[in-house]
Chains A and B, each alone.
Chain A
């Protein structure tokens, strides 16, 4: 069995906020890994990764030409920039919560 790999070694990401909604756009470094990314980063997988933030909805938009996927994660910012008691009220650091996922190796 191939060991799992860290997503951050295969993709980069940036997070943005609007109110209590987070978006994280994640892009494969290599075009050949895009299909692997799309296969493993399902809406359910991302919802599970952010499970402790209890998102109300996760929507995925695939952008194969940019080798990327945009996730819109609603209700995940503990109230958003003006109502959250968290340290990172914008949730800007949460791109790395996604990049910290371990996935089955793409194999090449």
Chain B
């Protein structure tokens, strides 16, 4: 018997976060449509905090709770994807995949289209927070919990695709699992085929942040050049039935795929490179190597897979914190000294009036991004007598006491009349700061499933 011929599946990622460029996927779909073999498109639209925010929107309106811009991403590519048989997979259902599916049905109708929609559910344990929930962390009062979602794997995505889904909408699908679900569908890989699932997970991981692997979040003038950075192309992974993996991008687009761009993304948000835990497999990139196999084409070798962890990770979103920020700017002669005086005045006022708060001060232009809560980094930079003439004092506060935060921001605004000379441009904002806590839960206690709304 002849060995079955090598098949290559093509997976594109049209968005790497909820705020990504909605138009980028249009060219990606056109590029996928020209390729032979199984093709898939996924959109990664969740982060630790976005899901908790989506739950709040759902609480206010049961028809909301999916990714805010989901339909800005989906609407332009529904027709070409359906025409060319390119299934779409997204976790942009966020806190409410079923409501997203309802809205999608209306969107399809308005475009005169029909599609088979699947929802992947079972990640949301918000209804399971009763006395049997012994996996809840200790310091998480029930009344503060707004969301409780577990990162779920590829199994239900594969099931939906096998069931003929054109569009799969999930909630907290783990980012790479969308690609793993597609590749298990394309190549028939089993749920315990650790080696193949590891390659699929590596593909998903490399693609899940969209253009971060094609030259986005990479350019550094003089050191790392990127061609046409205003028109970065979406990434495409070519994954063979023999577990070969090549990352490339939409033809004719800006950006580039090089060993450098791939390296940075391969380790992005990874801790131990030998044990990147996902719901599907334990991915081991510790012996991975890269090979440039063509223009904007990088092959990844040496990926290894180990059994999936016995537990799944979940995230709780909790209310109770408020985040306030305010700033005032100083420019011209003595700007740094005046901003510094403003900071000293503000610190004294807050110490006197709101001693329970822990204000964080930055001097934007001198020290902000690298700064720390106690101001050690800022104090060091000020010792160097920085030669800048345009700085902004920034106050940041996170606290449970909303009113106190509001008063602190008001204190910064009083620097208009009461502070050093020439301060301007006061802006302030105060909003709820959902906090998250992660937890582990035994795999058997979570049951992902597919519905056909």
Contacts and interface: CB of A to CB of B under 8 A. Distances in A.
Interface string A51-82: 01110000101010111101010000011111
Given A12-B220, A27-B264, A79-B398, A17 B269 contact: yes
B267 A68 contact: yes
A23 B271 contact: yes
Interface residues on chain B, size class = 35 or more
A84 interface: yes
Closest 10 CB pairs of A and B: A25-B267, A16-B269, A85-B396, A85-B360, A52-B376, A93-B369, A14-B264, A82-B435, A65-B289, A52-B372
Contacts, number: 126
A8 interface: yes
A87 interface: yes
B433 A83 contact: yes
Interface residues of A, number: 40
A103 interface: no
A85 B373 CA distance: 8
Task: Report which residue of A59, A63, A66 has the largest number of chain B beta carbons within 10 angstroms of its beta carbon.
Answer: A66
A57 B48 CA distance: 23
B189 interface: no
A25 B290 CA distance: 16
Contact of B377 (A52, A80, A81, A85): A52
Nearest to A21: B271
Contacts of A19: 48, 436, 438
Interface in A14-34: 14, 16-19, 21, 23, 25, 27, 29
B269 A23 contact: yes
Contacts of A16: 267-270
Contacts of B359: 85
A88 interface: yes
A70 B266 CA distance: 11
A53 B380 CA distance: 13
A78 B398 CA distance: 11
A59 B166 CA distance: 44
Nearest to A69: B267
B323 to A, nearest CB: 7
Contacts of A61: 272-274, 286
A85 B370 contact: no
B394 interface: yes
